[in-house]
Amino acid sequence: MHFPYNAPMNTLPPVQTMYRALLGRDTTFEGVFYVGVKTTGIFCRPTCPAKKPKSENVEYYASPQAALSGGYRPCARCRPLDTEPKPPALVSRLREMVERSPMGKVSGSELCAAGIDPSTARRQFQRAYGMTFHAFQRARRMGLALHEVRRGESVIDAQLSNGYESASGFWEAFKQVFGVPPSQAGQVNCLHARWIETPLGALLALANDEGIHLLEFVDRRGLEREIAGLMKRAGCAVVPGDNRHLDQLGDELKGYFGGTMKDFTVPLVVAGSAFERSVWSLLRTIPPGETWSYAQLARALGNANATRAVGRANGKNCLALVIPCHRVIRADGNLCGYGGGVWRKQWLLDHERRINAQAA
Total tally of structural domains belonging to the chain: 3
Do 355 and 288 lie in a common domain? Answer: yes
Closest CA to 234 of 213, 220, 211: 213
Co-location of 144 and 61 in the same domain: no
Q: Tell me the percentage of the chain whose pLDDT exceeds 70.
A: 80
Model confidence pTM above 0.75: no
* Interval 117-160: pLDDT, tens: 988 888 888 777 767 787 777 767 666 666 666 655 444 443 33
Q: Are 160 and 152 in contact (CB under 8 A)?
A: no
Assigned domain for 97 exists: yes
For residue range 262-281, what is the model confidence (pLDDT) as tens digits?
789 999 999 889 999 999 99
- Whether the CA torsion 159, 242, 264, 356 is positive or negative: it is positive
Confidence of residue 358 (pLDDT cuts 50, 70, 90): confident
Identify whether residues 91 and 168 lie together within a single domain: yes
Residues 97, 158: one domain? yes
Residues in the chain, overall count: 360
Q: Where are the extended beta strands (E) located within the chain?
A: 34-37, 42-44, 58-61, 73-74, 190-196, 203-208, 211-217, 237-240, 292-293, 328-329
- The verdict on whether 325 is a catalytic residue reads yes
Q: Is residue 172 part of a domain?
A: yes
Pairing mode of beta strands 237-240, 190-196: parallel
CATH (domain of 64): 3.40.10.10
Look up the domain containing 90 and give its range.
84-129+132-178
- Which of 78, 190, 325, 336 is catalytic? The answer is 325
